[in-house]
Amino acid sequence: MVTYRAAVIGLGRMGSTFDDEIQQGGCLFLPYCHAPSYASSPLTRLVAGADPHEGQRAAFAQRWGLDSAHVYSDYRAMLEKERPDIVSVCTTARIRSEIVQHAARSGVKAIWAEKPISISLAEADAMVEACRAHGVALAVNCARRWNPFFSVTRGLIDQGELGNVLQVTAYGSCGLSHNGSHLLDLVRFLAGGEVQWVFGEMASEEAAAGDQDLQGNGYLAFDNGVRALARGTPCGAAEWEFDVIGSRGRIRAMDNAGHFEWTQLEEGKRRGPVQRPFPFPPRIEGMGLTIIRDLAAAIETGRKPKCSGEDGRAALEIAIALRESHRRGGARVNLPLADRQLKILSAETDHDNEPAIVRRQRQAPKA
C-alpha cells in the first residue's frame, strides 16, 4: 500500500482543530477535518504544516506530534523542503487561489482545498487550469458529496429507483458563497447535470449591490431537464433539508442528513407512494478518510475527485449568477458567465487578518 506524504497550509479550525470541537455528528463523521484525517488514514502520513501565526504553528506541532522543524511560517518553504504528495489548503479564500496555483507548480500530486474554491471566477479558472496543466488532482471540500447517505441517494438515482429526476429542492440558511457552496454543490450532485440558467432573489437590494457574501434564493435550470429550487434565506423548521422528486420515487434528507425517507410509486396500482427502507450504507467511516481514499484513487487512476475543482467553481458561479439575476431585476442569467472578474467575498474572509482563536480569546470575559 502506498503511503502519501501529507501537509497542511492554514493550521486553524478546518486545518487542525475542528474535530476537537464536535460533540455530536449530524451530517459529519469523524475524522472530518484535514490534519486528523491525515493522521488517522492508513494511506497518508502527516509530515508538515505551514501558517504565518506562531501560536497556531506551535499548537499544530504539539497536537500532531511534529517536531518544530516541520512547521513553517512560509508555505513556499514547506513545499520546497518537505515535498509532500498531498497538500491541504485551509486558509482564508482571499489567498486560496494563489496558494493552490503555487502548490500545483511545486510538484504535489493532489490538493484538498477548503471551500469556497475562491473569491472570483477568474481565480477559480486559474486554479483549475494550473492543476490541469500540472496533472494535479484538485478536490474542493464541499464535503456532503462524500457523506455516505448522500452517496447512497446518488446510487439509487443512478439505478433508476426514482425514475427520471424532475426536481431538487434544498433548504439551508447560509451565505451563498460560504456554506452556500455546500448547498449549491449538493443540488448539482443530486440533479446530475450542469446548470444552464438561473433566476435569483437576494435577501436585500443593499446586499445584492455589493460583493460581500449574502443570503438568497434561486431557481436553477439544468441541461438534463431537472429543475431546482435553493433557499439560502432563513428556512424555519426545514433547515438543511434536501428533497429529490422523480417520476417514480422521492428521497427526502432531513435534520441535516440525520434522517432519510424514500418513497416509491408502485407500478400498475392506483395508490399513494409506498415507504421503502432507506438502504443503510455498507460502511461508514470518517468523511475525511473517504476524501483521502478518493484523492488517492484520483492520483492513481487520473480521474477527478468526487468534488473536483470544476465542481467547486460551478458552485461559486451559480452563487454569483443568482446575485447577478437580482441585480438585473430578476432577469434570467445564462451560464457560463462572461465576466470572470465577478466575485463574492465569502463570509469567512471577514476579520481574516488574524486567527479566529485569537479573536475568541480577546473577546472572552475576563476571569
Q: What is the mean pLDDT of residues 231-243?
A: 97
CA 270 vs CA 52, 200, 251, 341: distances in Å = 65, 38, 20, 54
* Contact call for residues 295 and 98 (beta carbons, < 8 A): no
Q: Binning pLDDT at 50, 70 and 90, where does residue 53 land?
A: very high
Whether 196 has a pLDDT exceeding 90, the answer reads yes
Give the model's pLDDT for residue 293: 98
Q: What is the mean pLDDT of residues 219-245?
A: 98
| Between residues 360 and 334, the one the model is more confident about | 334
Give the model's pLDDT for residue 284: 92
Ranges of CATH 3.40.50.720 domains, the chain:
4-144+287-307
Give the model's pLDDT for residue 19: 95
CA 283 vs CA 123, 280, 291, 302, 351: distances in Å = 37, 8, 14, 25, 40
Whether 25 has a pLDDT exceeding 70, the answer reads no
Q: What is the mean pLDDT of residues 165-193?
A: 98
pLDDT in tens, 267-317: 766 667 899 999 988 889 999 999 999 999 999 999 999 999 999 999 999
145-281+314-334: CATH number: 3.30.360.10
Strands 137-140 and 259-264: unpaired
Give the model's pLDDT for residue 213: 98
Closest CA to 314 of 195, 220, 137, 158: 195
Give the model's pLDDT for residue 363: 65
Give the model's pLDDT for residue 358: 63
Q: Which CATH superfamily is domain 4-144+287-307 in?
A: NAD(P)-binding Rossmann-like Domain (3.40.50.720)
CA 168 vs CA 174, 189, 321: distances in Å = 18, 10, 18
Whether 146 has a pLDDT exceeding 70, the answer reads yes
Ranges of CATH 3.30.360.10 domains, the chain:
145-281+314-334
Q: What is the pTM of this model?
A: 0.96
Whether 220 has a pLDDT exceeding 80, the answer reads yes
Give the model's pLDDT for residue 365: 65
Give the model's pLDDT for residue 27: 79
Out of 77-86, 151-160, 327-336, 343-352, which region has the weakest mean confidence (pLDDT)?
A: 343-352
Q: Binning pLDDT at 50, 70 and 90, where does residue 352 land?
A: confident
